[in-house]
Structure 1
Amino acid sequence: MKPSCELSGEQIASRLVGLMRSSNDSSPFMERYADCLEKAAELDDLSFVRMGREAEAFEEGFRHFVAGFPGAPAVTVPEGELFDMGVFLARVNRELRKALLKGWAAAIRAKAHQ
């Protein structure tokens, strides 16, 4: 008889917490978020629409994955909202969009270092 390899919700949560930094340094998650925004600032209009579609597909897969863990609620983006955001960003003047995203990244970095 093989031992079960399934982890309980508490064990999964414990392992995830173990992966997080416990120092007073900047938040690595917020830093990566800021990095993504800075990269997005350089994208063209069509790339935003494509990313919106890809993000929608990811959210759908994530919802399906989480459904396999009853009792573990997941906060997801409402259906269609990510694609709509991609289209919205594609419609904004490129230079304005670049300034907004870089400003947003700077604000997140400042918060990450508090």
Structure 2
Amino acid sequence: MRKTISIPISPELAAELESARGEFVQKFGREPTGEDPIFFDPDCDTPVAMSEEKVTAMIVEAAREAGIREELIYAFEKSGYIVTKENQHLIPPEGLFAHNAAIDEYRRKHDRGKRT
């Protein structure tokens, strides 16, 4: 038997989860079960989780639309981490190193391109 636990969530997350449930019902004509992915691939005819590549592309698109600096987007693509002052203590040292190294790499590449 599966153990049920409760985790408090923000109102914003609750709204996103409810929206995802509604999209699932609209796409597949039924309520999701515990075996279905919360965020599914809308291009598939059956409920399957989105690929990591598709999720990354969606995050990058949203970051660009939000005006996030390109070196931070590049660092996310290279390291898989979105680092902020609020969450950096949660990221393992190797993740922070990879993120910062990617920012440095981006800056080196683009500084070099500006020189003539």
Q: TM-score scaled by structure 1? A: 0.32
* Structure showing greater relative contact order (alpha-carbon pairs closer than 8 Å, 6 or more residues apart): 1
| TM score, norm. by length of structure 2 | 0.32
